Amino acid sequence: MNIHWLRYQKDKPFSILFKYPLSDFIPSSELSVHFTNLGNIMQEKLNGGAWVFKYLKKSDMLYQLKYIPPVHHAFFKTIRSSKEVQDCGPLPEDSEGD
């Protein structure tokens, strides 16, 4: 049998009600999707710290400050830069969709 009917209720945010047949006389079943204890999930950091941009990239961003509201200028002025940073180029295309 396939599920023919799904219902989500605002007063039951962690429950999915479903029915196999479309009959009104058969009560719906309830699936609880509330997770009570997942524990501590440890995740690795995506980068090792603050990003460092190429010197030319930062100078280009500072040149564009005239188009950015002044409230954000401090952020762009404190960006770290270095002449030794390597440009990684464009990301490789994902071949999984082929």
Alpha-carbon distance 88 to 51, whole Å? 13
Q: Which tokens belong to 80?
A: 């770290």
pLDDT at 98: 47
What is the model's pTM? Answer: 0.41
pLDDT at 41: 73
Alpha-carbon distance 20 to 74, whole Å? 59
pLDDT along the chain (98 residues), means of 10: 82 86 78 73 75 86 92 90 73 60
Considering only the C-alpha atoms of the chain, give the largest distance between any 2 of them, rounded to a whole number of Å.
Answer: 73
Q: Where in the chain are the domains?
A: 1-34, 52-82
pLDDT at 38: 65
Phi and psi at 62, nearest 5°, equal -65, -35
